[in-house]
Structure 1
Amino acid sequence: MTSVGEFDLPSGRGLYLRELRQYLTYEGMLEGLPTVERNKEQIEELVSEHRDNPYPGGPYLIRPTEAPIELPQDDPYPFGIPSALPRVTCIGRFDSLDPARDRSRDFSGLVVIWFQDDFAFPIDPAVVAQLLAIDWEAHAADMEY
């Protein structure tokens, strides 16, 4: 990473974080516990919400690690398997000054969704490692100014 919000992929391609939206993952959850089932729904809704927005195609999801929520064995939770995602949901809009595939276009872009324990900055180092491993040419959309 060269400076805040700038990343160099192993291929030499530069990425620029143009927008970062963050919020508490369970903001608005008034009662009960998060569950594996609800987390799956929440992630699916998030990906669906960012499909073709603002770039054509789907966003890239960096799969979160869920943490089991331990409860007494004699009192199972009736609404699913208790499990928590990291505390903060992050949606980043990244651009590259070069197209991914179509050289007649001006630049390429991709929305990346990830979860981390604290608000950025910094972006969690494990997330940065996964961000740098994205196959940009396969996932980013080519755009015109």
Structure 2
Amino acid sequence: MELVLRDGIEVKIKELHQWGTYNGLLEGLPTDKSNKRAIERVIKRAQEMCYMDEYYLIEPKQTPIEVDKPYRFGTPMSLPPIVCVAELWHHQPARDEKMHASSLLLIWFQKEYCFPLGDEIIEKFKMVDWKKHALDFEY
């Protein structure tokens, strides 16, 4: 899949990984604090899968979970149910002209498994500042 960013840079999805946000949650409700830890684990897993330290996270929206009584473990909040991790490539370097190409590890959350990507997430993709966030590499 190819996308054109707001600055005219055309990128391709080289890899795409997806899994359930709350895979492994055995009991209880997710909270704002546990979601923060979950996002940190997602970032670490994404970095290990794609062998990249730098990443760009499209900050997920947390939705309150209605409960009948106070929840003693924190404020119940849910993230979108699907984690998406993509490695994007562009055939030109972002900053260092001595390099051959550039890539970016992009992490986001959404309601359903891809494909297709939702219009809302595509608009967020387009807003990524490639020259600022992408890493240059050589073959």
TM-score range, shorter chain: over 0.9
Q: How big is each residue's C-alpha offset from its partner over 1:111-145, in whole Å with a ceiling of 9 and x where there is no partner? A: 00000000000112111111110000000000011
2:113 to 90, 99, 119: 119
| Percentage of pairs with the same residue | 38
Kept in 2, the 8 Å contact 1:35–1:83? The answer is yes
Specify the alignment match of 2:37 in structure 1: 41
TM alignment of 1:55-94, pairs within 5 A: 55=52, 57-72=53-68, 75-94=69-88
Kept in 2, the 8 Å contact 1:47–1:58? The answer is no
Q: Which amino acid is 1:112 matched to?
A: L
1:96 aligns with 2:90: yes
Kept in 2, the 8 Å contact 1:50–1:58? The answer is no
More helix by share: 2
What TM-score do the two structures reach when normalised by structure 2? 0.94
What TM-score do the two structures reach when normalised by structure 1? 0.90
Q: Which amino acid is 1:20 matched to?
A: L
Specify the alignment match of 1:128 in structure 2: 122
Q: Distance in 2 between matches of 1:45 and 1:30?
A: 17
Q: How big is each residue's C-alpha offset from its partner over 1:13-55, in whole Å with a ceiling of 9 and x where there is no partner? A: 1100011000010011111011100001111222234448523
Q: Distance in 1 between matches of 2:118 and 2:109?
A: 9
Pairwise CA RMSD: 1.3
1:54 aligns with 2:51: yes
Aligned residues: 138
Q: Distance in 1 between matches of 2:74 and 2:83?
A: 22
Specify the alignment match of 1:9 in structure 2: 5
Runs of 4+ in structure 1 deviating by more than 4 angstroms, as ranges, are: none
Kept in 1, the 8 Å contact 2:12–2:88? The answer is yes
Q: Distance in 2 between matches of 1:54 and 1:48?
A: 10
Q: Distance in 1 between matches of 2:29 and 2:45?
A: 24
Q: Which runs of 5+ in 1 are unaligned?
A: none
